[in-house]
C-alpha cells in the first residue's frame, strides 16, 4: 500500500470509480454528490465512469452496450490511476462486480494505490453466498471496505472481512422540510420500474386506497423494463389519478416531495434507499417493505411503517392508518427528519476522509473543519 504523507497540507488526489447519470440510480447519484463535496474540500477528484457514454444506436442494445463500454472504461481507468493516490470504488453485485469492480481493484493494487471498496446493494448476502469463491479474494485485496448500512456490515463480518460503516450522503439543503399536521392521500413512488422494485405492489395498494379515498393521487417517478406493463395494468383496471412521470433529473425531486404526503417503497431487495432518506428530509411519511437493510435504517428511530414484502393489502392498510391518525404521522415525520440529519455531509465527512487518509489522523481533520468554519 502506498503511504500518504500526513504532513502534506494538500490532500492527495482521489479517483471515484462508479456509474454516472443517467440512469439515475443510487450509486450514480451518490457518486455525483461525493464528487461535488470532495471538490468543495479542495481535493483533486477524477471520476472514472463505469458506464461511459456511447452513441445512441449502441447504447440501446444491452449486450452490445456492455461489450463496448468495457474497453472504454478500462482505457479511462488506466489513464487516471497514475494521477491519484486513493481509489474509491462503488461496488455492487453479480456481473457488475466481475467486469467493473475486479479490474479496478487489480489495477489499483498493482500501482500501489490506496483502495477503498464502497460496497452497496441489497443483493450482497445472496451474491457472496453464490459467488464468494470469486468475489472474496478480490475484496480481501483492498485496503478498506466501507458499507452504508449495518445490514451489509453483517454480511462482511460474517465472512470474517473487516469493514466500516460510512453513511450515504443526503444534501439537506436541497430539500424543504415541513411538518404535515394532517396527511392527504397524495402518494409518491420513486423507484426504477424494474422487477426488484416491485412497483406493481404499490399500484395494487393504491387501488384499495382509491376505493376509500376517491381524491387519492399516485405519482410514479422512474423508468425501466416494466414501464409498459405497469401502464397497461393501470389501464386494464381503470385506475384513475395515476401519473407516470418517467425518469426525472435529480434536481426536480425536491419539488415532487413538496407536493406529496406519503412515499411508498414496495421493493423486494434493498439496502439503504436514498428515496427514503430524501422523503425523511422533506417531511414525507413513509410506508416501506421490511426487506434488506430497511429495518436497520428505520427501526431504531421508528421513522417509517414497515410491511411484508409483496403484501399490497398490508401496505394499503398502513396508508389508511397514517391518513386517519395525525399523531402517528407527526411522530413518524419528526423521527424521519432526525434520522436524515445523520446523513448530511457534516455527519459523514469525518469518516469518509479518515477512510481515504488514515495517516493524517482524526484530529487533523477536526482542526481543518473548525478553521474553515471560523
Give all domains of the chain, ordered by start, each with its CATH number. 14-169+344-373 (3.40.50.2000), 172-341 (3.40.50.2000)
d(CA 15, CA 77): 9
d(CA 183, CA 238): 25
Give the pLDDT of the chain (374 residues) as one tens digit per residue.
444 443 344 789 999 999 987 666 778 888 988 999 999 999 999 999 988 876 666 556 666 667 787 888 899 999 999 999 999 999 999 989 999 999 999 999 999 999 999 998 788 889 999 999 999 999 999 999 999 988 899 999 999 999 999 988 888 888 999 888 889 999 999 999 999 999 999 999 999 999 999 999 999 999 999 999 999 999 999 999 999 999 888 889 999 999 999 999 999 988 888 899 999 999 999 999 999 889 998 976 589 999 999 999 999 999 999 999 999 999 999 999 999 999 999 889 999 999 999 987 554 555 555 444 44
Do 270 and 292 form a contact (C-beta atoms < 8 A)? yes
Burial level of 294, CB count in 10 A (0-12/13-18/19+)? Answer: buried
Report CA Rg, the chain.
Answer: 21
Cα 169 to Cα 32, 88, 134, 193, 251: the distances in Å are 10, 15, 30, 23, 15
Q: For residue 338, what is its C-alpha cell?
A: 432526525
d(CA 97, CA 74): 14
Closest CA to 102 of 129, 135, 64, 128: 135
Amino acid at each position: 500500500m502506498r503511504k500518504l504523507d500526513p504532513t502534506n497540507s494538500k490532500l492527495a488526489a482521489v479517483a471515484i470509480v462508479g456509474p454516472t447519470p443517467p440512469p439515475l440510480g443510487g450509486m450514480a447519484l451518490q457518486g455525483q454528490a461525493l464528487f461535488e463535496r470532495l471538490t468543495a474540500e479542495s481535493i483533486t477528484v477524477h471520476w472514472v465512469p463505469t458506464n461511459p457514454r456511447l452513441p445512441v444506436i449502441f447504447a440501446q442494445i444491452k449486450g452490445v452496450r456492455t461489450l463496448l463500454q468495457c474497453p472504454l472504461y478500462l482505457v479511462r481507468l488506466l489513464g487516471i490511476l497514475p494521477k491519484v493516490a486513493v481509489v474509491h470504488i462503488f461496488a455492487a453485485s453479480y456481473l457488475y462486480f466481475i467486469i467493473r469492480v475486479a479490474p479496478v481493484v487489480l489495477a489499483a493494487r498493482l500501482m500501489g494505490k490506496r483502495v477503498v471498496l464502497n460496497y452497496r446493494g441489497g443483493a450482497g448476502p445472496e451474491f457472496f453466498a453464490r459467488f464468494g469463491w470469486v468475489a472474496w479474494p478480490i475484496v480481501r485485496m483492498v485496503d478498506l471496505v466501507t458499507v452504508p448500512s449495518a445490514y451489509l456490515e453483517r454480511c462482511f463480518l460474517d465472512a470474517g472481512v473487516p469493514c466500516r460503516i460510512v453513511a450515504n450522503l443526503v444534501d439537506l439543503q436541497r430539500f424543504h422540510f415541513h411538518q404535515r399536521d394532517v396527511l392527504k392521500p397524495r402518494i409518491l413512488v420513486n423507484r426504477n420500474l424494474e422487477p426488484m422494485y416491485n412497483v406493481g405492489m404499490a399500484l395494487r395498494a393504491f387501488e384499495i386506497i382509491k376505493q376509500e379515498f376517491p381524491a387519492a393521487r399516485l405519482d410514479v417517478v422512474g423508468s425501466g423494463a416494466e414501464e409498459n406493463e405497469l401502464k397497461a395494468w393501470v389501464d386494464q383496471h381503470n385506475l384513475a389519478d395515476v401519473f407516470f412521470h418517467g425518469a426525472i433529473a435529480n434536481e426536480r425531486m425536491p419539488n415532487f416531495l413538496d407536493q406529496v404526503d406519503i412515499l411508498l417503497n414496495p421493493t423486494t431487495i434493498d439496502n439503504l434507499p436514498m428515496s427514503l432518506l430524501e422523503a425523511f428530509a422533506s417531511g414525507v411519511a413513509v410506508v416501506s417493505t421490511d426487506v434488506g437493510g430497511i429495518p436497520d435504517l428505520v427501526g431504531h428511530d421508528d421513522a417509517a411503517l414497515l410491511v411484508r414484502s409483496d403484501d399490497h393489502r398490508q401496505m394499503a392498510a398502513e396508508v389508511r392508518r397514517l391518513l386517519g391518525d395525525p399523531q402517528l404521522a407527526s411522530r413518524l415525520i419528526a423521527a424521519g427528519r432526525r434520522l436524515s440529519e445523520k446523513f448530511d455531509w457534516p455527519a459523514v465527512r469525518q469518516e469518509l476522509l479518515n477512510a481515504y487518509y488514515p495517516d493524517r489522523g482524526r484530529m487533523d481533520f477536526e482542526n481543518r473543519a473548525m478553521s474553515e468554519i471560523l
